[in-house]
Structure 1
Amino acid sequence: MHDHAPRGIRAGGPRRLLALSLAITATVLVVQVIGAVLTGSLALLADAGHMFTDSSALVVALVAATVAARPADDRQTYGYQRAEVFGALINAIILVVLCAVIAVEAVRRLLDPVDTEVQGLPMMVVALIGLVANGVSLWLLSIAQRTSINARGAYLEVLGDLLGSVVVLVAAVVVWQTGWMPADAVASLAIAVLIVPRAVGLLREVVAVLGERAPSGTRVPDIREHLRDAKGVVDVHDVHVWQLTRGAPVFTAHIVVAQEVFDEGRAGTLLAELQSCLAEHFDVAHSTFQLEPAGHIEHDHHA
């Protein structure tokens, strides 16, 4: 069952949604920086740093998505969709560096507490603003991230912002109600811990795409057996499945067919059936088949 097409503000493509999220993130960034200065909160400053990094990452994602939309040409025969993967790679690296910076500063604050008093109530108000804004951005990107690895990277960063806002909000309440100032530094460290798994997960997905692994959840043996069940197909070999970016799988295979398929002029019909089979059962829109008569000998075997 497929989801209904999004309507309203989420009806645009990934680039439009990324641009809206960028506008929201940049606005909240300014609010958090001002709030950090006024309240003396390290957690707000750390979250503002996260938001600044996310703003930069969203710019990278927006540029990558724009480049990826360019049509294929004689030099880029598959088009520019792989640009999204490189954009996601940059985002993942930014996340890892951000985690390290936040962790170091939080530990330094815990080991060498500063005398600056953190104002809990204003800190809580700013955290609430960030929480609402990040929730809106997350909602905007929830559709685009299903089909774009680049939007997926931006989605994960906004999710990290949302969780960071929750942590800052809890720390603000603790400081406001109890006066325990180290809660601010602990919240900063917690933000770094929350980001790490998402950064690692995104890096793994980028490596999988660049390494041309089969998409997650794709079982090549199942596809091979499905193709073999087609009328006139004798065997299937040299199967390759990879993806240009998230949601853009590519499939190639050599199909050994009975001689009568060629004799009866059914090769074109069989080819169309195989392509429709992959599109309908395995969501593979781009497939290439080489039809070979039974007994055909390959002259360019490879390991």
Structure 2
Amino acid sequence: MGVKSKAAAAILVLLLFLGSLWLHGGLDYHWDSCFKGYNQVNKLHQLYNSSGGDGAEGLQVLEGCPGQNFQVSLLLSHLLAVPAYSSDVLMLPYLSSWDELVRFMEALGPMVGLISKEIETKTSIIRQLAALAGESPEAELAPDINSINIVSTEAGTKNDPEASQHTGAYHSVRSMIVAEMTQGVVDFQQQTDSGCRTLLRLHRALLWLKLFLEKLAETPVSGRLRSPSELCREAYQNTLSQHHTWFVRRAAELAFIALPERGFFFRLVCVQDQEELSLVLNRVVQAIGEVYDRTQNALEENGMLDLP
């Protein structure tokens, strides 16, 4: 076998490891490792241009982008459906947002696609937990008079009183936290297959993608636009790398080298130039930020930011 063949084989092995270890310490600390998709029928989604101070300078329409799996219009629709009450996060559109983000990552090529498989594993865990709890995987959960009250003080939570009555255990982030705390499935000392632990790993990955898209949307006043590979690596170094081993960090950097150039992202989001890309991505980043902040607050209030 030639030197080039050996090098290619070595890279492939590293990337296969990456697929299972990608969020080691993030989505998953170990080697080991239903709701169905939230259906969105509208192919058009109105959004406000978030480039101005008040985020509402003009109205745009995002249309479905033909001939590709990833649809930024659907991603934004799911993200905007996630916030509930004044501080909660609905689980169904949250997971559907991840479904679309997985398609986004898969569109970037097979190397990054390996990373998305680990995220799919995590969303499947929460969907399976919901199914085991007897909650409908086909549609958003209806109120359940026998379900847990999510302002339970016995679980030691500080939850939104507006969301306090009659929702399924996996209806939202806060209801899931209370249900799993009450059932004793969340362990603060060792790993358990809880929805809360799984959510934390997804939460950390969401920050990485948020920062990457935010950087991709930047338009420098002067100088060149940096490559997506460079931006993704920088976003990773500021987020997920802090939870990863040296081996996983090196493997991740190999995957980022293979990211397509900026023109590919224009086509992926169906825009013509950087200015249009910035308008669309800034709105997506804003929506992700709202979801992230609400999830962060719920986890922090319950001491879950460092679950093993």
Say yes or no: TM over 0.5.
no
Q: Could you say which structure has the larger radius of gyration?
A: 1
More helix by share: 1
Higher relative contact order (CA 8 A, sep 6+): 2
Bigger fraction of residues in strand = 1
TM-score (norm 2): 0.27
